[in-house]
Structures are given as C-alpha cells and as structure tokens.
Amino acid sequence: MAVYVNDTSDAASHPALAPGLYIVATPIGNLNDITLRAVDVLKRCDAVACEDTRVTGKLMRHLGLSKPLWRYDDHTDARNRARLIESMGTRAVALVSDAGTPLISDPGYQLVNAAREAGIYIQTIPGPCAAIAAITLAGLPSDRFLFAGFLPVKEKARADMLAELGGIDATLLFYESAGRLTKALAAIGVALPGRRVGVARELTKIHEECRVDTPAALIAHYEAKPPKGEIVLLVEPPEEQEASEEDVDRMLREALATDKPSQAAAKVAKATGADRKALYSRALELRG
C-alpha cells in the first residue's frame, strides 16, 4: 500500500501550524481516501489527540509520520480535558477519531465546545464520513436527510425513536452494528411499514455493499449471510398523502381568519398541491 509522505523533508518548507485545535477527518476504510490537506496537518501538527493510539498509530505509520499520540475520548475526565485545552494555547493539536469525521457519532464534541469557550483557534479539515458516503450510494432521496446516530440497543427505546422520527419528511440515517442489524430491521418494519430500507456496509473497502429492499427481504438475506463490519441504515421518507376535504376546509378556515379568500386559497394550494381556483371557490363558499 502506498505511503503518501516522508517526514524527512525540509522543515523550513513546511512551517509549523498556528497553535490551536485541528479537527481532521480520516479514512473510513480505504486509506487512499485521506485528503492532501489532512496529511499536511498531521505532518505539521505538534501532537494528535485520538480515540485509540493503536489505530491512529497504524495510520501515522502508513503516512510515514511520527507524532506524540494523546489518547482522548468524550469519557476523558474534565481535568485531563482542561490540560489538553491548555496545551492548545502553545501547540497545534490535531483531533482524529478511529475512522471518519470526529464528532459524527465519534468523540470530540466536549473538546471542541471547551476549546471554543476557552477562545482556542479551531479549524476543521473535512473528509470521509460514513453517513454521507451511504446517502450517495443508496439511491434514496438525498435532498433532505436526517442523521440520528446509533439506534438504541433496548427494544422500547428503539421503537420510541423510530416512532418519533418516522413522520419526518426526509431519509433517515442511522449507524448500527452487524450483531444488531436484523433486530433493527425488524423494528423498522414494525414502526415504519411499507418503506424501503438501505443497508450500506464495508464502505470504501474491498467488500463494499449497499442493498435496498424491504426490511423482511433484508432480514432473510442477512440471516442467511451474517454481515460483518460497521453499517449505515437508511430509511426512505414517508409517502406524500393527499389532504382530505376536511383537512382542506380546516386549513382554509384558519387562513380566512386573517387573509382574503384569494390569499387563503394561495396558501392552502402551496401547502397541499390542490388546485388554486377550486380552493378559491371553496374559500368564497366558506366565507359566505
């Protein structure tokens, strides 16, 4: 596998970074996905804060870099977080997660929040993100989507979350583990019947896969072929439903309380897609 940089180059041509916090996205699978800017920051920073020094150490060796690796996650106590923030006053510290973009269901929120409160310089270096990769791959509506992190492990909490989010007019994205996949699919089938679901796994790796089907069909497939790796679940938005006559009349009456019939008809037409002329006639009837 190719190595991108060699840390023996002339330091004068690579000046040190300004002190502060640098949020660096790293590959989610294929190491070739690291950006040139991310490599540059990791090359010039003074230290790297990371979830697991072993995982980040492999990436750094792949890049031919050697930097102090400081273990950090959101379970780090406040005292150690404060020390890390203090160090950013004089050092450039890169924040990475084991894979992908920090803070996106990965550690970093508390550190970034504390750094901002302390007036620390913060810069983001964008790059790979499993949720974004999945929405581009699945072919489900991508004009509006909601990322909701990991589904709860407990059955009731999972059902409650699906019920809460199910009415949102957007594709839903969740992270899930391979061991809980079929249970999550079954819960989606019950809470959000009739919707297509996408399962994206092993993203950017050799065995990348994205299947879009009914929950029942996906359960049958993955019971026969148990999956491995990290998974992104996608659930298509609810189908648009035509407003009933009762709903249209209610909306017109509400609009007529403050608007002229023509204005009320225009508002309801925009909200429901119904014919504006017909709505205007009905508004006059209700007004009369």
Question: What is the residue-averaged pLDDT of the chain?
Answer: 91
User: In the structure, what pLDDT confidence band is assigned to residue 5 with cuts at 50, 70 and 90?
Assistant: very low
- The vertex-99 CA angle with 97 and 103, nearest 5°, equals 45
Residue-level pLDDT at 14: 65
The region, left, alpha or beta by phi > 0 then psi within -120 to 50, assigned to residue 139 is left
Percent of the chain with pLDDT over 90: 76
User: In the structure, what pLDDT confidence band is assigned to residue 11 with cuts at 50, 70 and 90?
Assistant: very low
- The pLDDT tens digits of the residues spanning 234-268 come to 999 998 666 788 888 888 888 888 889 999 899 88
- The pLDDT tens digits of the residues spanning 180-210 come to 999 999 999 999 999 999 999 999 999 999 9
Q: Could you tell me which residue, 73 or 288, shows the higher pLDDT? A: 73
Q: Which two tokens stand for residue 67?
A: 């930097």
**How far does Cα 231 stand from its chain's mean position?**
12
Does 130-235 carry CATH code 3.40.50.620? no
What amino acid is encoded at 76 in this protein? T
Instruction: List 70's β-bridge partners, or say none.
Output: 49
3-state percent helix, strand, coil for the chain, nearest multiple of 5: 45, 15, 40
Residue-level pLDDT at 57: 97
Rounded average pLDDT over 96-102:
97
Fold of 11-125: Cobalt-precorrin-4 Transmethylase; domain 1 (3.40.1010)
Token look-up 């991108």 returns 4
Is residue 3's pLDDT more than 50?
A: no
- The pLDDT tens digits of the residues spanning 65-92 come to 999 999 999 888 999 999 999 999 999 9
Length reported for the chain: 288
Q: Which residues of 143-162 are buried (b: 16+ CB within 10 A; e: fewer)?
A: eebebbeebeeeeeebbebb
Q: Which two tokens stand for residue 75?
A: 């379970």
Q: What are the boundaries of each domain within the chain?
A: 11-125, 130-235, 245-287
Least confident of 21-25, 159-163, 257-261: 257-261
